[in-house]
Amino acid sequence: MSHAKNFYAGPSVLPISILEEIQKNMVDYMGSGLSLMETSHRSPEYDEVHMNSLNLIREIYGVPDNFKILFIGGGATMQFSMIPLNFLSGGRSCDFTLTGAWSKKAYNDAIKLGKVNVIFDGKDESYTRLPDPASLKATPGASYFHMTSNETIGGIQWKDWPDTGDVPIICDMSSDIMSRPIPFEKFGMIYAGAQKNLGPSGVAIVIIREDMLEKCNPDITAYLDYRIHAKKDSLYNTPPVFPIYAMSLILQKVKADGGLKSIQNRNEEKSRLIYDTIDKSGNFYKSPVDVSVRSDMNVVFTLDSTDLEKEFIAEAKKRQMVGLKGHVSVGGCRASIYNSLPISDVMALVDFMNEFQKEKS
């Protein structure tokens, strides 16, 4: 079978070697006589997978000892509710930066549960730029300062972080988690759905500073309480076994391939190849995002007409390049180039973009 070049925004590309490893062990996991998906989550086989995943995230990402790593079902969208439920009780407030579709969704859930101060809203510029982080000031006494590190739909990414003083930053990193080193000392919590860079959908990774756990709502129900998950090593209930297993394989590959710095270098090279093609096209391709905050994960661009964009996407599909249609809310084109996408696939896309321009010019 010829595998397509996968530019979907999520669920997204997985390494062929990982898919083949999963296939090999799907029915009989490591000679145990059972699939891991039907084995008790209390079994030695799953316990090894679970703890290995937690330990690899800590090692590869450089997570400090005073942070807990949690696996929680429901993806990042459930975190939009869990965060305010834990940290906005008792009349507390939080700060928000609105930088695109996903930060707005998190905001829309938060305002139903507590007071929200909007520190920045990029609506007037169609969410195509970000402010200087040094210009952002947290509200004294706020419980947290929410950011979305990379907007998947808009193709915009924070390159640096504000100094929020005693107000902890909580950051949705769903679409760029483990794509670059981050300064953990800046954050109280980061969270991400796995289905962009770390595996299939179905699990969220939460990395939370231990002192944040002391601030959780004491009256919250069990599954929504971060303290419960931290105390039980994310085994309070049956965890999302399959995505955690796939994630463990991806993490092993990340380590074998040189770790986080190698990933960052490859991601920057991949995005540079496409942005250079856009910038050198003489406006045949156009990126709406300010150059200083262009995403290394999701490259958005437009052509002169929707008809031309449809033709571009259709012709790309004939060449087994899928997922290049922009989100329905913004249109245009989008190439999602997450960690697992080979640079050879990006080079094939760039060659096609040049050929298409030559043919249509």
Return d(Cα 279, Cα 354) in angstroms, integer. Answer: 12
Residue 40: what residue type? S
Return d(Cα 117, Cα 133) in angstroms, integer. Answer: 17
Q: Which helix (H) or strand (E) holds 207?
A: strand 203-209
Asked whether the beta carbons of 206 and 72 are under 8 A apart, the reply is: yes
Q: Provide the edge-to-edge strand list for the sheet that holds 187-193.
A: 67-73, 203-209, 187-193, 169-172, 145-148, 93-98, 115-121
User: Where in 41-186 does DSSP place strands (E)?
Assistant: 67-73, 93-98, 115-121, 145-148, 150-151, 156-157, 169-172
User: Catalytic: which of 95, 109, 172, 176?
Assistant: 172
Tell me the three state secondary structure of residue 191. strand
Question: Using CB atoms within 10 A of its CB, is residue 313 exposed (0-12), middle (13-18) or buried (19+)?
Answer: middle
Asked whether the beta carbons of 201 and 243 are under 8 A apart, the reply is: yes
Concerning whether 172 is annotated as a catalytic residue, the answer is yes
Asked whether the beta carbons of 228 and 222 are under 8 A apart, the reply is: yes
Q: Which of 153, 104, 180 is nearest to 299 (CA)?
A: 153
User: Catalytic: which of 5, 68, 158, 196?
Assistant: 196
CA angle 206–178–259, rounded 5-degree value: 130
User: Catalytic: which of 68, 102, 109, 345?
Assistant: 102
Active-site residue set:
102, 172, 196
